[in-house]
Amino acid sequence: MTALGMLCCAATLLAQAPTPPLPRIFVVGDSTAKNGERRGWGDSLAGYFDPAKVTVVNRARGGRSSRTFQSEGLWDQVLAELRPGDLVLLQFGHNDAGPLDAGRARGSLPGVGEETQETVHTYGSYMRKYIADAKAKGATPIVLSPTVRNIWKDGKVERRGPGSFGEWAAEVAQAARVAFVDLTTIVADRYDKMGAEKVREFFPLDHTHTSEAGADFNAAAVVSGLKRLPNTPFTAFLSAKGLLPEPANPNLPSLFLIGDSTVRNGRGDGRNGQWGWGEPIAAYFDSAKINVVNRALGGLSSRTYLTLFYWDKVLAMLKPGDVVIMQFGHNDSGPVNDTSRARGTLKGIGEETVEIDNLLTKKREVVHTYGWYLRQFIAGARANGATPIVCSLVPRKLWKDGELVREDYANWAAEVARTEQAAFIDLNAIVARRYEELGPETVSTLFADERTHTTLAGAELNAASVIAGLKSLDPNSLAPFFSEKGK
């Protein structure tokens, strides 16, 4: 065979080689992770990971304890699927405090020792078996403490649950030298900040099982814990949603940015040459004095930022002295109801509503005006002791008679800020004037697509415009936190 023929043959074999299977994240637990037709956090978890990089497999089963998940053969089914490189999230405890031999007979003995009673072992013994079996299959087990129940005392949410299962989970993980996520503490800290009245909305049926919003909230907390693990393997698998940051130093005040892809595009890494202004603006602030937390996400409108629970997660992190800059409008003009994104808002700032059967979510929904949603963000920020700042949307690359087209959403944002007595940055006008000075030819080089998403240079121009707007405010609450670049 000639050299050319050998090369062609090798190329053919490479082309025919099977694609390696994706790694998988298995969820093993009870109804707080999977609750029949209702949602547990394991159902919401997939949205935080990129399906092109990892597959989330929720094998949790309602009503099971660490004991019955094994005795009913459910763990054997998971083991049969496990491959080297898979990850297994283990969370039990809510049902382990039940009776040993009455009712559902699902209780385990308390503690982590080797005591047995008629072949019933301790919670810790069952957890050790899960860990050992997963390791034997070449998978990586991660232990999670239980979710938090909606039980309050003296203004604080219960943390211990039906027993000491969180403490025992931590002890087992430490002894077995596997990663541990203290989900109980992460969620409880956030619940305490939200307060009992707001948290109650997450529990429509009882004090244990969450609504869709509550399940998503807990899933976000799981991801937060996974991202904190040393040498975590999870970061490489996260979706744009999963990569949304949290304050790097909780002891510092934070500047939260909320909005759409013109603030944070995709994963915030400039993929496809597209950047939002929320990434370069961080350089204008001193990271030793303030956290810049860009929680904007592409594709969202003011409506879907609220209804898809993104705002709830920001509220759970807000504290007195924080600042929230909000910029929406680009996606609010979309359809109010369709099977694609269903993200449009009613035009204007009034109290008009329309009730729909949402074709995307399959749920009944009351849709409000653009201004109504902005008012929710302003009120929520203030209720948590934070300062809201409204920004009009950055302009699109739309020219008419030599000038940039100004948009109604900019006027509506200004009017909401005025009536709510909130600080306002007319970013639309500031950037439009700058574009007009530069001219269409130069402005075209600042865009990575036809008219909306900017290059890094364009994002930097927009970020500098936000800073210029902040400096014009009286008072400018962010002035003490500027870096040398910001000054």
Note whether 234 and 226 are within 8 A (CB): yes
CA dist 26 and 58 (Å) reads 6
Number of Cβ within 10 Å of residue 406's Cβ equals 16
Sign of torsion, CA 228 234 237 241? negative
Whether 111 and 99 have beta carbons less than 8 Å apart is answered as no
Give backbone dihedrals phi and psi of 303, rounded to 5 degrees, phi first: -70, -55
Q: List CB contacts of 212: < 8 A, sequence separation 6 or more.
A: 39, 44
Asked if 94 is an active-site residue, the reply is no
Question: Annotated catalytic residue: which of 31, 44, 65, 125?
Answer: 31
Kindly give the interhelix angle for 74-81 and 123-136, rounded to the nearest 10 degrees.
20
Does residue 111 contact residue 124 with C-beta atoms inside 8 Å? Answer: yes
Give me the catalytic one of 154, 206, 401, 474.
Answer: 206
From 121, 125, 145, 209, active-site residue: 209
Distance CA(242)–CA(219), nearest Å, equals 10
Task: Check if 465 is active-site.
Answer: no
Of the candidates 87, 295, 41, 86, the residue with the CA atom closest to the CA atom of residue 183: 41
Residues in the chain: 487
Rounded Cα–Cα distance for residues 172 and 308 (Å): 36
- State yes or no: is 182 an active-site residue: no
Active-site positions read 31, 206, 209
